[in-house]
Structure 1
Amino acid sequence: MTDFADFQLAGGPAGRRIVVAMSGGVDSSVVAALAKASGAETIGVTLQLYDHGEATARPGACCAGRDIRDARAVCDRLGIAHYVFDHESSFRAQVVDHFADEYLAGRTPIPCVQCNMGPKFTDLFALARDLGADCLATGHYVRRMIGADGSELHRAVDPARDQSYFLFATTRDQLDFLRFPLGGMPKDRVRAIAAEMGLGVAAKPDSQDICFVPDGDYAGLVKKLRPAASDGGEIVDLSGRALGRHEGIIHYTVGQRRGLDIGGQPEPLYVVRLEPEARRVVVGPRAALAVSAARLADLNVLGPLEGPLTAKVRSMAKPVPARLHGDQLVFDAPEYGVAPGQAAVLYDGDRVLGGGWIAATEGAALAA
């Protein structure tokens, strides 16, 4: 079927205990099946992140309602223990509230990274250690490899499934304890394993949206949590000249072109920056989006950052050549769509060297 090299720990399988983070999807379910097949004692753990009643009626919500039932059914099928821990308050404070506050502050948040940094890793690590586990295994599509200086984080073999961008904040200590057995597989192989093992989630669709915004209406959620988010203001050009009005900066992100509702302009306009204190949306031509450097905050270091590297500044962007000088990430060529609040993840080939949060950007000297 597949090897279990990612689970090999000193001392062989006898007496080993693996805790698997189970969301109720096919990926984490296959990880649990592989862990069980390795001969180790396997325990499935699910964090309930929503009120049970609310989540049951919310299709697409992760780690609640149907997903918890699916995780439990998989564990029953495999004959392993399954525990559910209520972390709703932690998830609300660390992820949902942070998401709303970031949008209100004119930044573009990445809640999946916040979730990994908080409930999914920090809280699960504590639970796994309390359960006496030798490692914590997850269904993320990344690879953990051992290099000259210890554990390293690498991109998944399948670039279409790679999730390394969302795991840049993983610490070295966490990497030592983590296992990512799916990083070397394509998704169709994972589903095939689920079918071979008779897991009911084999054909379960992948979640597509942010789990706590399954309808995709981010602005609606932010307005519900922070009513002031609907305060309107001006849309202005780079000189400060008013071009129109908006109904809340939460409807806009840097690089956005659609939805500005500004007519009669000689060229297409894009959101260049947001000024939350003045409640202004500043727009300009595409050339004004060019960024030569970005200041990074809360830099997490996983490898040597001296010399040339590549930087990925959006989850769907391609890594581009850059260099890091202190907390300043300098691009070899102007980069577009670099938004405060997003992450810049740094690579050497397939290896993740670390990354940080984009706190501010420096415009390139381009003609408008």
Structure 2
Amino acid sequence: TTGRPKGCQHSTGGYLAYVTGTAKYIQDIHPTDVYWCMADIGWITGHSYIVYGPLANAATSVMYEGVPTYPDASRPWRIAERLDVNVFHTAPTSIRQLRKLGPDEPRKYRYHFKHMTTVGEPIEPEAWKWYYEVVGKSEAVIVDTWWQTETGGFLCSTMPALHPMKPGSAGPAVPGIHPVIFDEEGNEIASGSNKAGNICIRNPWPGIFQTIWGNRERFVQQYYAKYNRKKDSKDWRDWPYFAGDGAMQAADGYYRILGRVDDVINVAGHRLGTKELESACLMVPAVAEAAVVPVADEMKGRVPEIYIALKPGYEASTAVENAVVQSIETTIGKIARPKHVYIVPDMPKTRSGKIMRRVLAAISNTMDVGDVTTLANPEVVEQVRVMVQGSGPVATKEAPEDIKKFGQVS
């Protein structure tokens, strides 16, 4: 949905065993549970944690087609009440969207979740708090999972009743997974050092994909070559899996995922993670969603540009824009000051609810936005373009390679 497609070839037995085990021990799924994962069944979360994992554990699995906010933002909670759902699974993007459109709606329904999963991208503490207190009614355990299409199932997560929850942190590695964080030179970054690096997995595991269908060279180059120690080695210890995500490890062993390595903005030599900037935006009470993209700048190389959508009841104003800038400067520093803050009616999103940051980056840099017909709300793209570029025709231009790749999952 967000970049050049690839076929991830998974095994049969290893993949099934891994998602069955992680669904049981990380999501605490039992045969008596009614489980609802709101993901689109066509992407990996749907494969692993709507179909294979829950059903292999003999749970009842709810399947739902369509956006969760139609015809209104209370629909998920009505369904949860009617079907007695007690294990719930969704993405931070959906959490933000539901919080934006119906912040108090969950309080009106008598469902009770024992367990809630979040998946797909880092969740900022403000959204986590609403998810826990309002959706979970302060009685459900949250596991903030980190994994990828390529990995088959969860790699990092707390385990319910065993590990303390920590807003904004994915938690420790799940059993059998041994992560490491390397810098660009391949040096290991110690836990508690407050330094970010590239998270990798030292060892193979049952759920890992076998190859990219029809493109083994890309498989090796993209996922294993970066930190390979000996090119001709057949020892797995020489081939750590490079996930392509930035991360930090706290002294307590919990991993904090910072987002895609490519989704970093280099401002005058300072590497700023887009998730850090977006989290600062979401600290402003009026802001429901935020997206940060890089813009080419003659002096600084790249500068951040901010797009925000507001919660119901708030109106676009200079005061809100200034509050966002102030929050960023206070939280991160003046080096992170954005070039512009745009208050948009909505964010361009995929059907699975992911914000299409590459489209926003294209608009900010006067690039061709590409094919947007498969988006859930393609009409928003033109509205945002007019807001940024004006209503008249604008000649598109070539952008630097890093900006062209921004927001794309390779």
Same fold (TM over 0.5): no
TM-score (ref. length: structure 1): 0.30
Larger Rg: 1
> TM-score of the superposition, structure 2-length normalised?
0.28
Higher strand content, 1 or 2: 1
